Structure 1
């Protein structure tokens, strides 16, 4: 019988090799890592079947005598959960696939039609007797059985499918962004972004910069040792970067306490505090580096219909106040017991974009003095006009015109009642966009009070990204 030759890929990581004792088989563990090599069974009856099927004369069995997995059917082999682990044989398995039967299951034929002496004579008559002994200098060509689908590969794919299924179930149970990605209503409730796609568009803008930040959820490395002696480093991070960002947005938009967030995200309360602080500084740096003040031409290009009677309006001014859980000894900084209050100034274009954010000052500072110290005066020009939603008298310190729609509403209610009411509602809608960040309406906890200025600034700047121009029908949560 002429035998076909083939080459295995050489393995350089094996210090010792196992060889198959079957005639006409040159399999070696040194050249093929996909095969497994099995010792002869201890049960006498099964061992004799092995010897009879192998057809090797004067076989001297030792503890090192092996038969490779090519001579067993897939049903005889037990595939381990780990594809790299050693395969085992089922109890009573007998080798039946050989070169001389085309690697087909011919055990029944061999036992019924052939006697051991007869088959030996046939093999002798086909060629050199030395082919009966194992030749380590050549290897046969692969057959169709070798090219068939690898059962280990099928098992590996099944394991991967189950792993993905477990991950999906884990995501559906964990409190993370992936859990709410399919619901725009949930995304809007927890982050104030109108849709998940809107949120992901913003994430793509900041993700490149986030790769350079030092995240709170530190990477933990564990060494995994394989059976072949190699080691892998497995990384475990308690929260993904996008989930850290999601945690910050939930705290800012919903105003949940640190303990509540710790229970939801399954992390320690102190870790929640550090995540909020880290992302407040990061977003403050990234968003604050962009110029938000708009030119007069750009503001006029987006002027809403409500401002037709005030076409030169450049910015609407609003003062807001924050309360922090920071009891201090300076009584002048207190507006409420055990709460320190801060005051900030926000400038918005008529179409809803935030164009100016001041730093926070002590609440004891008057609105007029806050306006002067904020720095917005240097941005105003004579051809512009500013508008207030409250009684702020700074006419003597600005180089431009001043509108007060609240006063106009009282004085001209008979003539322009509908028009002035519409303008007032529009202004209140603009201010409401910032107030939708519930954290600004709650008492900011002591653990994040050190970054209150960054949190306040980020909350104001995020308005430009969360929902674009005024969204009609925005439900109040």
Structure 2
């Protein structure tokens, strides 16, 4: 193996020798013999591949990596040559060949086994590792390998590793599936976790079924998707895109329904929906204003033709000209500290401070008129005048009411008639008056049922706080209009609503 006379570089890792810097060194090609070449490759710890290829005339090992006894100098030319079968053995990782033999550096297996034996290995179950191979067990002329990647593991270890890999892959797939399921559950609207059956929908939303709620939701969603939160609407009068919501839009409606229909307090809603108390208040105010505008834009008052087309037969028998049945109701409110406000809101009928409103229904049971709430001291006659229901009546219309509604004079001004139970003029009613009283009582019960439905919204269970005065009229109107989604009031009626 002759020394190359061209510009040469050593291919041993961590060696930067070249002919230009060290002209006194000799550089030698890899042997042609395959066995000796493979021993050179193992000795310098480099495998042929994309990053390293052995080419004749360009891949060298410098003479610094050979022992003195492995080289000789030719007398004729003075060139340094390598003895046949010699293998490079002096490298940085074995301290340039010092201490060969019994003092050679321990292999990776030996060093790791020495560290782990006191804590992990059981002497009775120790396995033979490649580092335990002695020189006597090696073939003559063999080279000891001191790196774990130079040894092939036993077939048993490969099978165990493959089984362990398969178990870990299954575990990863299971965890990925679990994460995916949790993500889907988190994205699922909260309303469908609480409301599974129609009974659940009636409790939380007061809608008669899931189907009815879905119809309502699909009708309001296009406009609700452009909602602005109440605080942002206060800051700007321009219609700008709403910020990213913390809840899905349908869950915001569900929160509002839980507050109004189920009567849950805002603190409870904050815990259920995992949002701040201020966010709950902002959502409630926003949806109150929105639903009042949307539902209020629908025509409630029915025309005379619509009333006649949906009128049950028993109404046609006793009062065929009936247009509306009216009655007043009261809801208790918080007592104000001001004596003037106390006197205005105090109701002699309830013996408490109240808000009072007028409700009118068509003979078919649909709520067709909702007045705003007034202070509890107002009379039934005055609330009828101020509610402007008289402006909706036409000549010939009949208005059914309780006998406390002495509004016959006001109705006559618009050509309408008052239908009330006959007043007792003697100690005993006549047969005709008795039958008329019973008939009117049976018909007028529908308005009592409508009022009962409105008050079944649990937001009215306690005393209305004075802090709700700004939105109480809107909430009252929303509850009244939502009653029309609950089905017929008269289950024995023969006309659909």
The TM-score range, normalised by the shorter chain, is 0.5 to 0.7
Q: Residue in 2 aligned with 1:305?
A: 313
Structure 1 residue matching 2:471: 3-state secondary structure: helix
Q: Is the 8 A contact 2:329 2:451 kept in 1?
A: no
Aligned runs of 1:430-445 on 2, under 5 Å? 430-445=450-465
Structure 1 residues 414, 319: CA separation in 2 closer, same or farther (over 3 Å shift)? closer
Distance 1:424 1:263, change over 3 A: same
Partners of 1:300 and 1:58 lie apart in 2 by: 104
Distance 1:197-1:321 versus aligned 2 partners, 3 A rule: same
Which residue number in structure 2 is paired with residue 315 of structure 1?
A: 324
In the other structure, the counterpart of 2:345 is 334
Encode CA deviations 1:83-129: one digit per residue, 9 max, x unaligned. xxxxxxxxxxxxxxxxxxxxxxxxxxxx9xxxxxxxxxxxxxxxxxx
- 1:412-465: CA deviations, max 9, x gaps? 68647875564344443233222222223432234433211111111111222x
- 2:214 maps to 200
Structure 1 partner of 2:390 = 377
C-alpha displacement of 1:302: 0.6
Match of 1:213 among 222, 227, 245: 227
Tell me which residue corresponds to 1:245: 253
**Any unmatched runs of 5+ in structure 1?**
1-43, 61-110, 112-153, 219-234
5 Å-filtered alignment, 1:18-417, equals 51=47, 57-58=53-54, 161-167=177-183, 169-170=185-186, 176-215=190-229, 237-308=245-316, 309-325=318-334, 327-329=336-338, 330=340, 331-335=342-346, 340-389=353-402, 391-398=404-411, 399-405=415-421, 415=435
Aligned partners of 1:405 and 1:424 also within 8 Å: no
SS at match of 1:194: coil
Conserved? CA contact 1:277–1:448, under 8 Å: no
Offset of residue 257 of structure 1: 2.4
Task: Determine the structure 2 residue equivalent to 1:452.
Answer: 472
Asked whether the 8 Å contact 2:358–2:383 carries over to 1, the reply is yes
Q: Secondary structure at the match of 1:450?
A: coil
> Which structure 2 residue ranges, 5 or more long, are not aligned?
1-40, 60-151, 153-169, 233-242, 493-497
Evaluate the alpha carbon distance shift between residue 257 and residue 300 of structure 1 in structure 2; reply closer, same or farther with a 3 A threshold: same
RMSD: 3.9
Query: CA offsets per residue over residues 270-303 of structure 1, 9 Å max, x none?
Result: 3322222211111111111222111011011111
1:191-243 C-alpha deviation (Å, 9 max, x unpaired): 1111112112111111111122213699xxxxxxxxxxxxxxxx964322211
CA contact (8 A) 1:343 1:360 kept: yes
User: How many Å separate the matches in 2 of 1:410 and 1:206?
Assistant: 52
Q: With the length of structure 1 as denominator, give the TM-score of the two structures.
A: 0.57
Structure 2 CA distance for partners of 1:410 and 1:192, relative to 1, 3 Å: farther
Q: Which runs of 4+ in 1 moved over 4 A?
A: 51-56, 154-161, 168-172, 336-340, 405-421
Q: Answer with 353-362 or 209-218: which moved more.
A: 209-218
Look up the match of 2:164.
Answer: none
Instruction: Confirm or deny: 8 A CA contact 2:323 2:399 kept in the other structure.
Output: yes
In structure 2, distance between residues paired with 1:352 and 1:393: 23
Q: Is the 8 A contact 2:327 2:447 kept in 1?
A: no
CA distance in 2, matches of 1:403, 1:236: 55
Checking the alignment, whether the CA contact within 8 Å between 2:345 and 2:376 is kept in structure 1 is yes
- Residues 237 and 422 of structure 1: CA distance in aligned 2, closer, same or farther (over 3 Å): same
In the superposition, relative to structure 1, how do residues 416 and 315 fare at CA in structure 2: closer, same or farther (>3 Å)? closer
Task: Give the C-alpha shift of residue 157 in structure 1.
Answer: 9.7
Q: Tell me how many residue pairs correspond in the alignment.
A: 317
In 1, Cα distance between equivalents of 2:281 and 2:466: 10
Aligned to 1:17: none
**Take 2:441 and 2:388, find their aligned partners in 1: how far apart are those partners?**
31
Aligned mates of 2:423, 2:172 — CA distance in 1 = 74
How far residue 376 of structure 1 moved from its aligned partner, in angstroms, is: 0.5
- Over 3 Å counting, the alpha-carbon distance change for 1:266 and 1:305 in structure 2 is farther
Offset at 1:182?
Answer: 2.3
Q: Distance in 2 between matches of 1:318 and 1:210?
A: 33
Are the counterparts in 1 of residues 326 and 447 from structure 2 also a CA contact under 8 Å? no
Does the Cα contact within 8 Å between 2:311 and 2:364 map onto a contact in 1?
Answer: yes
